[in-house]
Structure 1
Amino acid sequence: MSATIDPDTAWDAFTRRDRAFDGRFVVAVHSTHIYCKPSCAARRPRRENVTFLSDAAAARAAGYRACRRCLPDSVARDRQAVIAAATLLAGDAPPPLTALAAAVGYAPHHFHRLFHRLTGITPAAYARTCRADRVLAALRDAAGVTDAIYAAGYAAPSRFYADAARLGMTPQAAAVGGAGETLHWMRLVTPLGPLLLAATARGWCRFAFDEDRDELHAAFPAATLLPGARAWRTHAEALIAQAAAVPVDGSLPRALRRTAFRTLLHQNATPIG
């Protein structure tokens, strides 16, 4: 049994068939000598007939065999495929879904559902966040916006300008350190660690883990920085709660989950007003 999950929590997840717990433990059934995912669709045994073990290897070592209905041994393979895909999506030229799925050994539609189930977002959304992360640096280093578009890995200006809305200012203003902009910022607790949030009158311009005012100033040295007012903080807290409510596989690497979390923040962001 995983040290991070107590039996009552495990039983509750098992009775609810909660996919978010797949991979965090397996359910060994004494009466049938099989082990299952927490989300297995089979009828639930009596509680006294089950044991919660840390993983499939522990279950096999204890003499249990894998359930043929939920295929618990596939969990590790699925997770590794998502991790490998995330690495490809973070590259300068993220592959389209068909090529991405082929690279990790899955059919496209199945892998799209799998990636979304484990991360809470689509592969395309993950790639957009990774690419948008490069925009600010590209704007500072390039001779102009057009050069920055291609330096950041965009194939066309239209997608760049759609993602540039995340800057909360024009690309031209971002290129010169946020000159003329006022950034309201705050630092809040999230399930994945402290997160800095900053916004202009146009909208949110930065979601960054483990950053503080100094890092924000380094990113936008020409902007005016002000602590977020209560209304801004309330809006930010609601945004974080909404993203935190999306099920994500807790055994995925922390950096991957943080990127997914920031993607959800961008997807759910609304005008602050």
Structure 2
Amino acid sequence: MNVFFKISMSVISIFCLACAPASDRVKTEALPPPNLAEMNNWYPPDAEELQLRRENQVYLDEMFSAMEKLFETYVDILGDEIILENLIRGFSTNMEQLETDFSRSLNAQKSKNETLNKEVQTLHASLGGLKTEIEGLQKLDREKTFLEDDYRAAILLFRDGKYLRSLGKFKKVNKSHYPSFLKDNILFGLGSNYFKLKKFSRAIHYLKQIIDHHPEGDKWLASHAVLGTIYGIQGDSDKAARYFEKALQQNPSEDLRNILTRLLNQTLEKNTNGRS
């Protein structure tokens, strides 16, 4: 608006100057006072006056032309100002919207970060528990690792009559990942130690597992001999005799056959004496 005001004032000033009488703009010799008698008479202008009028008209035409150009410039400037003002207004609105959107996005991100932090803390706690569990499993796995030295020690301790220590070693081996072909040997070691410790019910538990699940092993016949002996000690001679006879029917080795035959004869003799 300041530009328009300045332009308008300049144009008006120029226009007023152009409309002023020729005598005010161009200094000429003073004319004689008019004759009142001749006032109603028309006198055509002389050449000098016509020249002055022509110059004045040219001057006015130039002023009006300049004024039109100024108005055209003003219109262009005013249009640019309006466009610029609209752009600024739109930019301000967009900036406010952007600030609002950014604030919302920032708050959403903060909320998401807080949730992630809680999840990370929970995950850390879970990892701590998982680590403890893994360490426990690793320890258990180490405990279940089969050691040939433990198996050999269990046998040597039994041979030396250290049945409790032998039993402990056999129990440890039984919980380990031992080779499958040792299963009947381990069961027989457990049953034999319980027999030596006179814990016959526990001995029967392990020896029957051999008879029921490992008929192909060499401890199957030996288990019949030990079970028959246990039942004989418990006074069940008939049951003891059945185990001895069943083992003898399987063509045992000569040494085992001699043992089974002697046990069977003792049992049958006991039955005969008991009945008589």
**How does the TM-score come out when normalised to structure 1?**
0.22
**Of the two, which has the highest radius of gyration?**
2
* Higher-RCO chain (CA-CA 8 Å, sequence separation at least 6): 1
More helix by share: 2
More strand by share: 1
> How does the TM-score come out when normalised to structure 2?
0.22
